[in-house]
Structure 1
Amino acid sequence: MALRSEAAVEATRALPGIPQDADGPVFREPWEAQAFAMALALHARGVFTWTEWAAALANEIKRAQTAGDPDSGETYYRHWLATLENLVSAKGVASSDIQHRYRDAWDHAADRTPHGSPIILKPEDFARPSSD
């Protein structure tokens, strides 16, 4: 899967490590393209510069390698997503707690959704489990 847009071209120029082919950035899974698109949208809204992003991504990759990441290229977008989450929190867009709350709600909604059906978040998906 490739993504070709003016914003994607700008990102690949600013961030030369992005996996790409002649058509632009490439992704092995849809979630990778979605994480990429979220970063493009936040950059377009001025949440961070590509220079900030590159430094934060390099720090995340370095941290992961120190923790034993084999740096095979298969984890690049996992680092991308972690960087996205960290910057969103650091910039005050959404705290880590809010991000975890939505992640848990999404997981809850996905668990009850039959395969192939759209996942729909409901208010009860956000209910915190009781600590019995």
Structure 2
Amino acid sequence: LPPGLPTNTLPPTIPTDKLPTPLKPQDVIIKSYNPKEKMLTIHQGEQYLISPITKEKILANSISSHTKYALLDPAWIQRREKEVAEQQEKEQVYEPGSHVDLELKKFAERRTDIFGMGSQETIIGRKIGEEERRP
């Protein structure tokens, strides 16, 4: 304590007549809260356009900047298409059509524990009805 102050002073008291009264349950207003409502209003206002240059879906308010950058480097479209084609050749993730369907069917035949075939379940790696091979 700084010198000169008496050590027996108490902090000032708050008058009890100025305290707010506690709220009663009938005085509390509860608004129905829907967190998704705010997101719906945001997404409904957004409009998309298809870029005539890149054929991409773009926000309507950013079409001018997109067009500006797309026109600055016209070879960008060809480079991007080339990169996508190289990636499709390199990775077999982009397998077209029914080949994926056939592979999934083969996998499902051998994994009845995952995909289930009625009430029958086989050992992993065997098809239903397939017998154990004997040498």
TM-score of the aligned structures, taking structure 1 as reference length: 0.24
User: Which structure dedicates a bigger proportion of its chain to helix?
Assistant: 1
Rg (Cα) greater in structure: 2
TM-score of the aligned structures, taking structure 2 as reference length: 0.24
Higher relative contact order (CA 8 A, sep 6+): 1
